């Protein structure tokens, strides 16, 4: 397998179609590895999370010249002040990251990548610092084995849980699976909203809707949460605007709102990708907290996912209590640091 490196955004853009076709066959097929997510992230360096970086995307081809694997990496100063190669998407706004490679060739791809990094990678790199690798990814063990053969130092760290609801049946089956107290609480909150005289409506942004306007509404909701004001820098706003529009254009946006009368009470930005709904971020108008709009909107989203044949509802990173109350079961992501000798 031959590995070359993409070093600029123009080369990255040119690979869009082949990139996504390969991702559909990859062992880790997640929205955060879609070309449009990765290129959007790179254009803002994660909404300003990183001050600078250099693209070093490893591209694998077989003897026939066909694309076989991708290692979306960039070179930057890590949080430990080391020259490191990290996944494009690291750290805060991409919940799952990995190599883009089919299961059956993870081993040869990783080996070829490490050889290429040794021989023609950036000479100053000290560490592969790879965040947010899913617990089930074979990349974890394959990387550790390949590093051990070189006597490189490997450190594996378990990061946050990513609670996931797995569906097996109908909406009523889902409700029955909940703890009795939580089941009654969810039903009560949804019924109370239905009776509100202001008129409460759940709305899902459609393919025909104006994604830019929907993004503006969602960001305004996020900005009402004091915990997210610092997060929503001007660069992060641009990142979210571009991401929402890219996901909308490519058919995997799931942006929903709970409206009270003519006002937005809550919004959830999610991704409808594969057989899973990926719950990415939220905003709640504090003026309507008495209606529990976040809970009610989640109830509508879960029901939508069940009734539209989605197999899982992924809350993504974080151990917030409500994720478990609604039936989430823990999965984990990992950080792998490989320091070369």
Question: How high is the mean pLDDT of the chain?
Answer: 97
CA distance 107 to 110: 5
What pLDDT, in 10s, does the model give residues 212-250? 999 999 999 999 888 898 999 999 999 999 999 999 999
Query: Residue 194 has what pLDDT?
Result: 82
Query: Residue 130 has what pLDDT?
Result: 99
Extents of the domains making up the chain: 2-160+333-339, 164-314
Helix (H), strand (E) at residue 160: strand 153-161
Is the domain spanning 2-160+333-339 CATH 3.40.50.300? The answer is no
Structure pTM?
A: 0.96
Query: Residue 331 has what pLDDT?
Result: 98
Is the domain spanning 164-314 CATH 3.90.1150.10? The answer is no
What pLDDT, in 10s, does the model give residues 245-271? 999 999 999 999 999 988 999 999 999
What pLDDT, in 10s, does the model give residues 39-66? 999 999 999 999 999 999 999 999 999 9
Query: Residue 190 has what pLDDT?
Result: 92
What pLDDT, in 10s, does the model give residues 87-115? 999 999 999 999 999 999 999 999 999 99
Query: Residue 285 has what pLDDT?
Result: 93
Query: Residue 90 has what pLDDT?
Result: 98
Q: Which phi-psi region, left, alpha or beta, contains residue 48 (left: φ > 0; alpha: ψ -120 to 50)?
A: left
Query: Residue 197 has what pLDDT?
Result: 75
What pLDDT, in 10s, does the model give residues 267-309? 999 999 999 999 999 999 999 999 999 999 999 999 999 999 9
Annotate 294-339 with DSSP letters as a single string: HHHHHHHHHHHHHHTT--EEE--S---HHHHHTT-B--EEEEEEEE
Q: Region 77-91: what's the mean pLDDT?
A: 98
Query: Residue 12 has what pLDDT?
Result: 98
């Amino acid at each position: 397998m031959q590995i070359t490196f993409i070093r600029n955004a123009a080369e990255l853009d040119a690979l869009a179609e082949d990139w996504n076709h390969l991702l559909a066959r990859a062992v880790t097929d997640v929205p955060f590895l879609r070309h449009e997510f990765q290129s959007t992230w790179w254009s803002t360096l994660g909404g300003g999370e990183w001050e600078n970086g250099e693209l070093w995307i490893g591209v694998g081809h077989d003897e026939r010249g066909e694309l076989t694997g991708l290692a979306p990496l960039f070179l930057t100063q890590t949080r430990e002040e080391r020259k490191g190669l990290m996944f494009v998407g690291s750290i805060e706004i991409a919940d799952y990251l990995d190599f883009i490679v089919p299961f059956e060739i993870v081993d040869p791809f990783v080996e070829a990548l490490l050889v290429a990094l040794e021989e023609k990678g950036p000479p100053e790199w000290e560490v592969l610092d790879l965040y947010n690798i899913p617990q089930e990814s074979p990349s974890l063990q394959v990387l550790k084995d390949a590093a051990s053969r070189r006597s490189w130092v490997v450190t594996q760290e378990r990061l946050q849980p990513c609670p996931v609801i797995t569906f097996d049946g109908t909406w009523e089956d889902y409700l029955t699976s909940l703890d009795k107290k939580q089941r009654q609480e969810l039903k009560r909150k949804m019924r109370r909203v239905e009776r509100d005289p202001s008129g409460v409506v759940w709305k899902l942004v459609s393919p025909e809707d104006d994604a830019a306007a929907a993004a503006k509404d969602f960001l305004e909701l996020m900005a009402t949460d004091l915990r997210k004001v610092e997060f929503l820098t001007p660069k992060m706003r641009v990142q979210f605007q571009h991401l929402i529009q890219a996901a909308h254009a490519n058919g995997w946006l799931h942006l929903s709102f709970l409206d009270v009368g003519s006002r937005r009470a809550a919004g959830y930005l999610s991704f409808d990708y594969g057989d899973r709904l990926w719950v990415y971020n939220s905003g709640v108008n504090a003026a309507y907290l008495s209606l529990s709009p976040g809970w009610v909107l989640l109830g509508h989203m879960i029901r939508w996912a069940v009734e539209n044949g989605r197999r899982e509802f992924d809350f993504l990173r974080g151990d917030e209590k409500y994720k478990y109350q609604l039936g989430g079961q823990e999965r984990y992501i990992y950080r792998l640091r490989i320091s070369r000798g």
